């Protein structure tokens, strides 16, 4: 039976918001490795070597392929690099590697046209293929816009013809932040602008009967990226198209931040059945991207549209104040000036299985105990609730850390200051002994139809802790939120997810999966404005890991900022400095600047556009030369790389945004 929820989204961005259902796209054959349709989600990455370094590029490509990379992208900024792709291809073939190659093109149609005769796929950026960006604000009339489109077609059509003649595929890859002046003047730097930027080129291909297309909508901000992909699918469907999707978060950065940011954006879309190939873009060696991408994609290899795992009673409407294309935080009641409403999402950590005799147990939770002063220092990543279950600590907790106890244990506490009870739904219905401030109640989606839920006394102390044991749990929890919204229930909701892995797996593997899965499941809901708190439960990992993952998810979804953010490009053959070393150097001096976004880009060609909404930019302009930006404005040109970081710090100081590191407590 077709449900209301399915009907509401039909012709929109995905097949179902309650069952897992892959959005089946058109198959595209890229050098024998087919993408789209029912094919597995393909994994790809990009070399970081100089394309003219034939041997280096071959060696790096082989490391990527051996790690599991199914398409290798190589930058071709000009004719000479495009030509050298033939040598790289030959060298790989001589070593027994036939993995399809993709040429990455910006600004240079002649390089694209040459590369399209050599490699299996070309990637163009519609923001700069036919246009040199001048950051001009031109008011295009509809007539002037049409003339522009005709001009683009003239420039772009030869490439399409070459691709058709050679069986070469093409990715039309829009990047937030590098949209053409024409798109900017009509749509602005918005998801709609990103979609239209690609659609202009897609429509030209369509009109020329060329369909070997793959589309991407990348941004370093997962919220913008997810909205843009959804809007792209809805737009394609409305125009009778279903080209496969290449998913990625650009300039995601390195380490934990890069992995979490990528998982939030890519995972949110995979959950809704979108995505045919993924690239996790990290400022690390490209072969390190592959296991991350595989861990994300493998989660869906066996996820079927399992009827028994679907939402029970799925016949509900999409709430009228929810849109998949724009962010609106769900309206919830603010309790105790602490949770819900406009408060930041709260973080809960389970400490019930730890040694509650030692105050140092709280340091991974962000509370550093000084025995000398007998006091705690709080950091920017300090948890808000500690779940202690039935365990009583033998030391005093910090005043601003709330303790959660199972109801029966809470009843027995002598001093209940800062201590709150946690109930099952039934316990809560039956008890007359509640807390005056906050009562947390475990619920799951199926409870919504129960008699107990119908009997719930709603008041301004109630907080739901939403659990799920379903495989397709994100959709299950989202359905819970939608039903609450439709019923006008504004109780704050803490989203809880639990992860348990095979004991035989190495700890690093368990941590990677826990991090990616939590970023997907919790991140997807937060991106849509759902959730007043998160509780990540992964007992096979450490408290420190859970806390930094939880705050990383909140940072990536921009729902709670607790640290500086780095929008660093993954580097490629154009890169003018060692991105990994430079990113670490900048991070070591600035990571205490909570809320500041710093773009670190390897080249001036794409860097300024791709660092999107960074507050400050550090961009390579030549060997040993860096240009510094405030937002999109150039502040200092061609500074020597030895002084560039100090000069950037001076700019931050001039803006009053600098604090000394030791002042941070």
Looking at the Cβ atoms of 123 and 483, the one nearer to ligand SF4 is 123
The least CB distance from residue 288 to ligand SF4, in Å, is 16
The footprint of ligand SF4 (CB under 6 A) covers: 569-572, 574-575, 601-603, 605-607, 610
Query: Is there a contact between 555 and 253 (Cβ–Cβ < 8 Å)?
Result: no
Looking at the Cβ atoms of 295 and 569, the one nearer to ligand SF4 is 569
Query: Is there a contact between 232 and 181 (Cβ–Cβ < 8 Å)?
Result: no
Looking at the Cβ atoms of 464 and 618, the one nearer to ligand SF4 is 618
Burial tier of 230 (Cβ tally within 10 Å: 0-12, 13-18, 19+): buried
Looking at the Cβ atoms of 324 and 608, the one nearer to ligand SF4 is 608
Looking at the Cβ atoms of 21 and 571, the one nearer to ligand SF4 is 571
Query: Is there a contact between 102 and 122 (Cβ–Cβ < 8 Å)?
Result: yes
Looking at the Cβ atoms of 177 and 533, the one nearer to ligand SF4 is 177
The least CB distance from residue 198 to ligand SF4, in Å, is 18
The least CB distance from residue 647 to ligand SF4, in Å, is 20
The least CB distance from residue 94 to ligand SF4, in Å, is 27
The least CB distance from residue 610 to ligand SF4, in Å, is 5
Looking at the Cβ atoms of 286 and 607, the one nearer to ligand SF4 is 607
State the DSSP code for 323. B
Which residues pair with residue 347 across a beta bridge?
534
Looking at the Cβ atoms of 116 and 282, the one nearer to ligand SF4 is 282
The least CB distance from residue 110 to ligand SF4, in Å, is 18
The three-state secondary structure class of 447 is helix
**What is the end-to-end Cα distance of the chain in Å, rounded?**
57
Looking at the Cβ atoms of 444 and 583, the one nearer to ligand SF4 is 583
Write out the two tokens for 348. 């809960």
- Residue 191 sits at the vertex; the CA angle it makes with 188 and 196, to the nearest 5 degrees, is 75
- State how far the alpha carbon of 610 is from the alpha carbons of 189, 279, 408, in Å: 12, 16, 54
Which residues pair with residue 533 across a beta bridge?
346, 494
Residue with the closest Cβ to ligand SF4? 602
Provide the sign of the torsion angle of the four alpha carbons 563, 564, 567, 572, taken in this order: negative
Looking at the Cβ atoms of 294 and 571, the one nearer to ligand SF4 is 571
C-alpha–C-alpha distance, residues 151 and 145, integer Å: 10
The least CB distance from residue 95 to ligand SF4, in Å, is 25
C-alpha–C-alpha distance, residues 291 and 558, integer Å: 26
Residue whose tokens read 């998810």: 553
The least CB distance from residue 168 to ligand SF4, in Å, is 21
The least CB distance from residue 88 to ligand SF4, in Å, is 17
- State how far the alpha carbon of 30 is from the alpha carbons of 100, 108, 171, 200, in Å: 7, 22, 11, 23
Looking at the Cβ atoms of 36 and 602, the one nearer to ligand SF4 is 602
Query: Is there a contact between 263 and 512 (Cβ–Cβ < 8 Å)?
Result: no
C-alpha–C-alpha distance, residues 637 and 629, integer Å: 9
The least CB distance from residue 447 to ligand SF4, in Å, is 48
Side-chain-facing half-sphere of 18: CA atoms under 13 Å: 28
The least CB distance from residue 620 to ligand SF4, in Å, is 7
Contacts of 40 (CB under 8 A, 6+ apart): 297, 301
- Residue 98 sits at the vertex; the CA angle it makes with 295 and 42, to the nearest 5 degrees, is 25
Query: Is there a contact between 653 and 635 (Cβ–Cβ < 8 Å)?
Result: no
The least CB distance from residue 105 to ligand SF4, in Å, is 11
Closest CA to 615 of 556, 565, 555, 551: 565
State the DSSP code for 464. E
Looking at the Cβ atoms of 180 and 381, the one nearer to ligand SF4 is 180
């Amino acid at each position: 039976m077709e449900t209301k929820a399915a009907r509401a989204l039909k012709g929109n961005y995905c097949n179902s918001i309650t069952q897992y259902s892959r959005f089946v796209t058109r198959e595209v054959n890229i050098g024998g490795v087919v993408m789209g349709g029912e094919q597995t989600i393909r994994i790809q990455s990009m070399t970081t070597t100089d394309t003219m370094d034939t041997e280096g590029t071959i060696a790096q490509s082989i490391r990527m392929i051996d790690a599991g990379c199914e398409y290798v992208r190589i930058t071709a900024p000009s004719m000479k690099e495009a030509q050298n792709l033939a040598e790289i291809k030959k060298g790989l073939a001589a070593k027994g590697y036939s993995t399809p190659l993709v040429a990455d093109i910006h600004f240079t149609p002649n390089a694209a046209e040459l590369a399209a005769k050599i490699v299996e796929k070309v990637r163009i950026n519609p923001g700069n293929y036919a246009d040199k960006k001048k950051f001009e604000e031109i008011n295009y009339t509809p007539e002037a816009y049409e003339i522009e489109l005709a001009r683009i077609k003239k420039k772009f059509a030869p490439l399409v013809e070459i691709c058709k003649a050679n069986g070469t595929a093409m990715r039309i890859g829009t990047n937030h932040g590098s949209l053409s002046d024409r798109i900017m003047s009509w749509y602005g730097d918005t998801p709609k602008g990103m979609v239209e930027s690609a659609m202009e080129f897609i429509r030209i291909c369509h009109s020329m009967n060329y369909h070997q297309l793959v589309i991407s909508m990348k941004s370093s901000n997962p919220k913008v990226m997810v909205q843009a992909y959804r809007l792209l699918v809805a737009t394609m469907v409305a125009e009778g198209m279903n080209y496969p999707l290449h998913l990625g978060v650009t300039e995601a950065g390195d380490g934990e931040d890069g992995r979490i940011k990528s998982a939030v954006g890519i995972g949110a879309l995979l959950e809704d059945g979108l995505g045919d190939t993924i690239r996790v873009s990290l400022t690390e060696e490209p072969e390190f991207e592959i296991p991350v991408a595989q861990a994300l994609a493998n989660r869906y290899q066996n996820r079927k549209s399992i009827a028994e795992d679907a939402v029970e009673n799925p016949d509900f409407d999409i709430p009228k104040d929810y849109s998949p294309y724009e962010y609106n935080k769900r309206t919830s009641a603010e309790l105790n000036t602490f949770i819900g409403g406009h408060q930041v999402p709260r973080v809960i950590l389970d400490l019930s299985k730890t040694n509650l005799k030692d105050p140092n147990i709280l340091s991974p939770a962000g509370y550093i105990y000084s025995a000398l002063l007998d006091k705690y220092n709080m950091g920017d990543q300090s948890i808000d609730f500690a779940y202690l279950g039935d365990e009583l600590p033998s030391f005093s907790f910090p005043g601003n850390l709330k303790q959660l106890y199972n109801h029966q244990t809470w009843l027995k506490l002598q001093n209940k200051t800062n201590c709150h009870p946690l109930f099952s739904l039934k316990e809560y219905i039956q008890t007359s002994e509640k807390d005056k401030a906050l009562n947390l109640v475990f619920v799951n989606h199926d409870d919504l139809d129960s008699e107990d839920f119908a009997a719930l006394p709603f008041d301004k102390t109630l907080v739901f802790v939403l659990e799920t044991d379903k495989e397709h749990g994100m959709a299950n929890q989202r359905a819970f939120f939608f039903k609450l919204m439709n019923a006008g229930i504004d109780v704050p909701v803490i989203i809880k997810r639990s992860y348990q892995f095979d004991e035989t797996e190495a700890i690093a593997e368990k941590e990677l999966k826990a991090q990616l899965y939590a970023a997907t499941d919790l991140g997807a809901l937060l991106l849509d404005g759902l959730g007043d708190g998160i509780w990540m439960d992964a007992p096979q990992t450490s408290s420190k890991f859970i806390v930094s993952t939880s705050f990383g998810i909140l940072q990536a979804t921009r729902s709670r900022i607790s640290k500086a953010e780095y929008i660093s490009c993954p580097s490629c053959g154009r890169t003018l400095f060692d991105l990994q070393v430079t990113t670490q150097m900048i991070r070591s001096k600035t990571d205490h600047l909570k809320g500041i976004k710093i773009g670190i880009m390897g080249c001036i060609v794409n860097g300024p556009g791709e660092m999107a909404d960074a507050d400050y930019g550090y961009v390579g302009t030549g060997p040993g030369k860096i240009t510094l930006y405030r937002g999109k404005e150039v502040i200092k040109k061609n500074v020597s790389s030895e002084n560039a970081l100090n000069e950037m710090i001076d700019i931050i100081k001039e803006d009053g945004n600098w604090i000394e590191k030791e002042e941070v407590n």
